[in-house]
Structures are given as C-alpha cells and as structure tokens.
Amino acid sequence: MPVAFTSEQQNKIKNSLCTAALELVKDTPVSKITVEQLTKAAGISKGAFYKFYSSKEMLFYQLLRQLHDQIYAPALKIFTAGNISSPADAITDAVIQCLDVLDNSEYKRFWMTDAPEIMNAVPRRKQQEQKQAEKQLFSAFLKSCGELAVEESVAFDAITALISTVYLRKTVPENYRTILRRMAQGVCACIFK
C-alpha cells in the first residue's frame, strides 16, 4: 500500500512541479508539454501527479494566476492610489505599464499564446475566479474615478474591450499609446458622469 506524502513532501513536490512547468513554458507551448516531463522533473510518478492536479491545465492555470498578479500589479497600484484626475490617463498608463511588465517577462509567450487555451480547458468555476479577480481590479479603478453613468457590468465590459486592444500594438506600434489614450477617453466619457 502506498504511503501518503507528508505535508512537507507535498509542498516540495508542488514547488518542483511549478518550477518545472515555469521552465518548460518559457519556450514550449503547453500543448506540447507532457505530464511525464513534469513528473520526471519533480521526481514523482504520473499517478502521483494526479493527486496534486486533476490535469496539467490545472497546474498551468495556477501559474497563470501567479503571473496575473505580477502583470497586473502596476495597474492595481495606479487604480488604488486615489486622486485620479483623468480616468483615461489612468487606464492608458495602467495598460502601458502592464504591457511593459509583460514585454519584459520571460513568460510573455506563455501568457499571450497559451493563456486562452488554458482558460478554455479549466472548469467554469475557475474561469469565474479569473473574471472575479479582473472585476476586483476594475472595481478599484471605477471607485477611484467617480460616479458611473452606466451599469457596472457595462463599465466592466467597456474596460475589458479597451484592454483587448493590446493585440493592436504590434500593428500600430508607433501610435498605439496615442490610439489607446483616445479610445480610453471615449470609453471614460461614456461610462462616467
């Protein structure tokens, strides 16, 4: 009969799995990473892997959550600082600073390419957790900027749409900041009184 892992062993194994996963995703798409590669790096069996994670996507989801906090830290700092004189400037600065963090991250490929696939593969409950984390970030921003002219859900959707423009920065790199600021001004004119 197999012996259960001690709490210390469990923590060590989880850390080893996370370290191995982080190292692999720098250059390899998640779809090409196998559970065997992860378990070999952690020194456990494939069966033991499933005592920690129900799937490899759940392990990578955990990594996404950790990276989410790092990437969005500049935005949270801007949004919670208070005294925002221009919501459009705050949004623009937050998006640009987050992009700078992402651009300088060795996990950029993982975040930009693998994240959507991982989010589609995790249970709906986990997808909702991710949306809730984003809503908390947006709520901090909305509260610091004044009274809304629209329902909060509409404001969230408008900000989400604005943030989704990050993919345009490759198309219009010289003008992206200006375009983003103009779009942010339009969004803020619509969502705030």
Residue 3 confidence (pLDDT): 56
Say whether both 72 and 105 belong to one domain: yes
**Residues 102 and 137 reside in one and the same domain:** yes
Question: How does pLDDT run across 96-129, given as a tens digit for each residue?
Answer: 888 888 888 999 889 888 998 999 999 999 888 8
Q: Using one digit for the tens of pLDDT, what is the confidence trace for 71-87?
A: 888 888 887 777 777 88
Counting the structural domains of the chain, the total is 2
Closest CA to 75 of 12, 160, 146: 160
CATH number at residue 17: 1.10.10.60
Does residue 125 share a domain with residue 31? no
Cα separations (Å) of 10 from 18, 23, 46, 47, 119? 12, 20, 15, 14, 25
**CB within 8 A of 86, min separation 6: which ones?**
188
| In a shared domain, residues 94 and 164 | yes
> Are 85 and 122 found together in one domain?
yes
Where in the sequence is the domain holding 152, given as residue range(s)? 62-191
Nearest alpha carbon to residue 68 among 130, 138, 136: 130
Q: What is the 3-state secondary structure (H, E, C) of 50-79?
A: HHHCCCHHHHHHHHHHHHHHHHCHHHHHHH
Query: Whole-angstrom Cα distance, residue 77 to residue 40?
Result: 39
Find out whether 193 and 147 touch, Cβ atoms under 8 Å.
Answer: yes
pTM score: 0.79
100 and 27 both lie in a single domain: no
**Averaged pLDDT, 162-182:** 85
3-class SS of residue 183: helix
- Domain presence at residue 118: yes
Domain identity same for 83 and 153: yes
Q: Poorest-confidence range of 3-7, 39-43, 131-135, 168-172?
A: 3-7
